[in-house]
Chains A and B, each alone.
Chain A
Amino acid sequence: AQSVTQLDSHVSVSEGTPVLLRCNYSSSYSPSLFWYVQHPNKGLQLLLKYTSAATLVKGINGFEAEFKKSETSFHLTKPSAHMSDAAEYFCGLRGYALNFGKGTSLLVTP
């Protein structure tokens, strides 16, 4: 079965500190994985995607994610949080559509 689990529903960080948003997946074949961001009252914007090329994927706005097959994980990181990073983040696994996790709400405090 294809599924995605986002391990934290809420993450709070201080501005300037690292961000870690965790995503585990279950897939019976080589996965394609995505991270999307949703700012308030907006649609979803693609941050980055893994499609069996390099395991370390760089995305927009300084975000990156590492695909670890042995850990079935695709965690999203950023070295230094900015206030504008406060948003909802969704991990997605490609099947006939995208199967999304339940989302992680990132709060960035001054």
Chain B
Amino acid sequence: DADVTQTPRNRITKTGKRIMLECSQTKGHDRMYWYRQDPGLGLRLIYYSFDVKDINKGEISDGYSVSRQAQAKFSLSLESAIPNQTALYFCATSDLDTPNTGELFFGEGSRLTVL
């Protein structure tokens, strides 16, 4: 089983619908992140969480919200999806013990299409 699991892997929805992307991890890491990937724009940070009680906005948080239900679970919600939120979304984790040097571990991504 993957260390960082994202569900769903693919989702097609309509404008205005509420969507939740879920992420769970078995690495025991405290830090979790949500990124979106768009062609030609690389990966951009949406939200990040350093522990269950700590949630921070990234560079493109407008239109998104998150919930850290437990150390191992970090969900991303689109309250009212719009077409320009069509993208590939990645969840990632990192180790608290090496905050400035530790690598990120990524899930396999959730492809979201908003019609």
Interface residues, chain A, with chain B CB atoms under 8 Å away: 6, 9, 32, 34, 36, 42-46, 49, 51-52, 90, 92, 94, 96-103
Q: Does B108 contact A (CB under 8 A)?
A: yes
Q: Which of A32, A44, A101 contacts B100 (CB 8 A)?
A: A32
B47 to A, closest residue via Cβ:
A97
A52 to B101, CA, bound (A): 9
- CB-defined contacts of A34 to chain B, threshold 8 Å: 103-104
* 20 sample A-B contacts, Cβ–Cβ < 8 Å, listed by A number: A9-B40, A34-B104, A42-B109, A43-B4, A44-B92, A44-B106, A49-B101, A51-B101, A90-B42, A94-B100, A94-B102, A96-B48, A96-B99, A97-B33, A97-B45, A97-B48, A98-B33, A98-B92, A98-B104, A100-B44
The DSSP consensus for interface residues of chain A is strand
Indicate if B60 sits at the interface (CB-CB under 8 A): no
Instruction: Compute how far the CA of A39 lies from the CA of B94 in the bound complex, rounded to whole angstroms.
Output: 21
Q: Which of A9, A45, A92, A97 has the most CB of B within 10 A?
A: A97
Q: A44, A90, A94: which has the most chain B beta carbons within 10 Å? A: A44
B43: chain A residues at CB < 8 Å are 44, 90, 98, 100
